[in-house]
Amino acid sequence: MDILEQVANDLNINKEILAKSSLEVFLNKELLNTEAEIFKIAAKHGIKSVLELDALLKKGKVIEEDIIENFMELDYLESRREGLLKAIERIK
């Protein structure tokens, strides 16, 4: 018997319902954490997205060496957010 089945038995609930609910809570927590990290980077640069940061870079308003780590992190976080949103939609 796996841990999910054991916990479902302990709580006297359906294993699939427990799995779906647990997954939904996990994905929403990850989404909140991801959005918080996006907000921190965006606020630091006065932008809302990686596209806006890219526009500042192209206009010469920021120096690539100064923002490259934040740019890459923001790009990753926005991609992760999209994946989390898709996963949340899939389980609904």
pLDDT tens digits for 46-69?
Answer: 999 999 999 999 999 999 999 999
Burial class (CB in 10 A: 0-12, 13-18, 19+), 64: exposed
CB 31 within 8 A of CB 6: no
Q: Give the pLDDT confidence score for residue 92 in this predicted structure.
A: 85
Q: Give the pLDDT confidence score for residue 69 in this predicted structure.
A: 96
CB 50 within 8 A of CB 74: yes
Residue 47 DSSP one-character state: -
CB 47 within 8 A of CB 53: yes
Q: Give the pLDDT confidence score for residue 1 in this predicted structure.
A: 72
d(CA 91, CA 73): 27
Residues of the chain with confidence (pLDDT) below 70: none
Total-model pTM: 0.88
